[in-house]
């Protein structure tokens, strides 16, 4: 596979600083070398340019830093689209989860039937009406589904980027009250950690892949490192106890790889300031490798 690595050092969509260093931390964990070792060709595009919060006005407190986030999403969407048109696999490194607005919009231009597996402790399905924080990283999946402020839902002139019946959230364990109501209203498939406890990660991922890839859809994987338990991934901005174990996360990635539907991936919320000896970035690299074909045997 020809892989194009794109860094999106976004630090505007969340409250806690440090995720803008995420792309560098993941690269420092020898991402390219490891990908080449398992047979891929890698081209690193570098980072898109994103302003620091200190240089931008917050703006609407219910949609913090809206304008620079939308601008970055439009630039990233263009890069992802051209990557796919060049028959390359876009691997986008965050940054906070608001970058998925750009990465998935770019995929949807080329593959309008794309399904999404959203591996995350959070639903990211708030709007400016339901948000308790005003942080856009908690609204991006709703925006991609066409729900929320039109400046987020229409970043490239089109509304809904995803069919709601092909969106799957895996690993949720911290959902806001208003967000829960929206997820139910729009019939988004949600597998919580309770579901994983009861039926196991293997069955959850079997169902998730079937939902996202129905009608032979391609799949975009959006991996938020806070889906893992903080004992495994300490360097995230919004840690929540009781997350995926090391092996559960690897099996999830391995099953997506085995489905042969994966066409793009973003990895987000690695916070190097909060990390310990780059452990979370190193784990992110391991999980990327599993999603892109590395096997135990």
Among 62, 88, 96, 122, the active-site one is 122
Chain Cα centroid distance, residue 105: 12
Among 124, 179, 232, 248, the active-site one is 124
Among 137, 189, 220, 250, the active-site one is 137
How far from 83 is each of 18, 175, 264, 283, CA to CA, in Å? Answer: 27, 33, 10, 25
| Burial category of 82 from C-beta neighbours within 10 Å (exposed 0-12, middle 13-18, buried 19 and up) | middle
Q: Which residues contact 243 (CB under 8 A, 6 or more apart)?
A: 121, 171, 173, 193, 226, 227, 228, 229, 230, 232, 233
Chain Cα centroid distance, residue 289: 16
Q: Residue 268's beta-bridge partner residues?
A: 224
Active site residue 96: no
CB of 281 closer than 8 Å to CB of 25 = yes
Among 174, 224, 232, 248, the active-site one is 224
Active site residue 269: yes
| Burial category of 46 from C-beta neighbours within 10 Å (exposed 0-12, middle 13-18, buried 19 and up) | exposed
Among 20, 88, 269, 275, the active-site one is 269
| Closest of 56, 59, 48, 58 to residue 9, by C-alpha | 48
Among 20, 34, 96, 97, the active-site one is 97
Among 96, 226, 266, 275, the active-site one is 226
- Taking the CA of residue 56 as centre, how many other CA atoms within 13 Å lie in the half-sphere pointing to its CB? 18
Active site residue 226: yes
**Phi, psi (rounded to 5 degrees) for 201:** -65, -30
CB of 235 closer than 8 Å to CB of 294 = no
Active site residue 137: yes
Active site residue 11: no
Active site residue 97: yes
Q: Residue 169's beta-bridge partner residues?
A: 118, 190
| Closest of 133, 235, 149, 248 to residue 196, by C-alpha | 248
Among 120, 232, 248, 254, the active-site one is 120
Active site residue 195: no
Active site residue 261: no
Active site members: 97, 120, 122, 124, 137, 224, 226, 269
């Amino acid at each position: 596979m020809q892989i194009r690595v794109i860094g999106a050092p976004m630090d505007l969509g969340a409250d806690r600083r440090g995720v803008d260093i995420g792309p560098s931390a993941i690269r420092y964990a020898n991402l390219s070398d490891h990908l080449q070792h398992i047979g891929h060709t890698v081209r690193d595009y570098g980072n898109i340019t994103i302003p620091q919060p200190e240089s931008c006005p917050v703006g609407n407190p219910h949609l913090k830093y809206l304008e620079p986030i939308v601008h970055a999403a439009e630039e990233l969407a263009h890069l992802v689209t051209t990557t796919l048109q060049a028959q390359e696999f876009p691997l986008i490194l965050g940054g906070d989860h608001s970058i998925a607005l750009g990465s998935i919009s770019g995929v949807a231009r080329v593959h309008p039937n794309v399904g999404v597996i959203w591996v995350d402790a959070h639903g990211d399905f708030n709007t400016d009406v339901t948000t308790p924080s005003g942080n856009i990283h908690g609204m991006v999946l709703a925006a991609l589904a066409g729900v929320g402020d039109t400046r987020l839902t229409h970043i490239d002139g089109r509304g809904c980027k995803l069919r709601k019946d092909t969106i799957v959230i895996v690993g949720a364990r911290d959902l806001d009250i208003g967000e829960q109501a929206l997820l139910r209203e729009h019939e988004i498939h949600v597998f919580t950690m309770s579901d994983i406890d009861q039926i196991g990660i293997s069955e959850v991922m079997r169902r998730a892949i079937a939902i996202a890839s129905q009608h032979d859809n391609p799949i975009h994987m959006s991996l938020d490192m806070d889906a893992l338990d903080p004992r495994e991934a300490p360097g995230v901005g919004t840690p929540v106890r009781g997350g995926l174990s090391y092996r559960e996360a690897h099996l999830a990635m391995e099953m997506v790889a085995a489905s042969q539907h994966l066409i793009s991936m973003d990895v987000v919320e690695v916070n190097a300031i909060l990390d310990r000896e780059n452990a979370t970035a190193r784990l992110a690299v391991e999980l990327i490798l599993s999603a892109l074909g590395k096997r135990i045997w």
